[in-house]
Amino acid sequence: MGELIFKGMKVEEIDLTNKLEGQVKLDIEQRASFNVKYTNDNLHCAANLTIDMMEKTAPMDFNFKISATAFLDCEPGMDKKEIHKKAYDEIYPNVRTLITTIMVNAGLPPIVIPKVKMDDSNIKLAGNEQENNGQLYS
């Protein structure tokens, strides 16, 4: 088992629509996606977490989306499933804090996203398909 070194994070997208009036109880539906892309030498990776939330009964009145990517260095020979788990553990608290801060500053309740349990059964590794820029693959 190796360790990941967190090198930084970039928020790629933030979108909030809040047309709710007065005191309302939110019934939020949430979708999340997480993927990790690697450099050809497997020594660096980019982990992307995208969260999409909407009010179940009025999705056009309240919806929120954030997409963020963490950049990490990997130790040589690390198992990709282990990298996947550890990368999620690195990015999750940062994205959770961003979401809570944005919600509170927008006059909404502090919404805290649940942490997904990463285990081998819900991690799917793709082949070494090259991305368009030739830098990272999943």
Residue 123 covered by a domain = no
Q: What are 9-51's pLDDT values in tens digits?
A: 999 999 999 998 887 788 899 999 999 999 998 899 999 999 9
How many of the other CB atoms lie within 10 Å of CB of 98?
Answer: 17
Residue 56 covered by a domain = yes
Residue 37 covered by a domain = yes
State how far the alpha carbon of 49 is from the alpha carbons of 22, 57, 77, 95, 120, in Å: 31, 25, 24, 8, 18
Residue 128 covered by a domain = no
State how far the alpha carbon of 74 is from the alpha carbons of 5, 42, 69, 71, 95, in Å: 7, 7, 15, 10, 21
Please, which pLDDT band fits residue 5 given cuts at 50, 70 and 90? very high
**89 in helix, strand or coil?**
helix
Residue 115 covered by a domain = no
Number of domains in the chain: 1
Q: Which domain holds residue 63?
A: 14-19+26-108
Residue 2 covered by a domain = no
State how far the alpha carbon of 62 is from the alpha carbons of 35, 78, 107, 126, in Å: 26, 41, 13, 34
pTM of the complete model = 0.84
Residue 79 covered by a domain = yes
Q: What is the DSSP string of 15-69?
A: EEEE---SS----EEEEEEEEEEEETTSSEEEEEEEEEEEESS-TTTEEEEEEEE
Q: What pLDDT does residue 21 have? A: 84
Six token digits for residue 76: 């040589």
Radius of gyration of the chain (CA): 17
| Strand 28-39 with 44-55, pairing | antiparallel
Residue 91 covered by a domain = yes
**How many residues comprise the chain?**
138
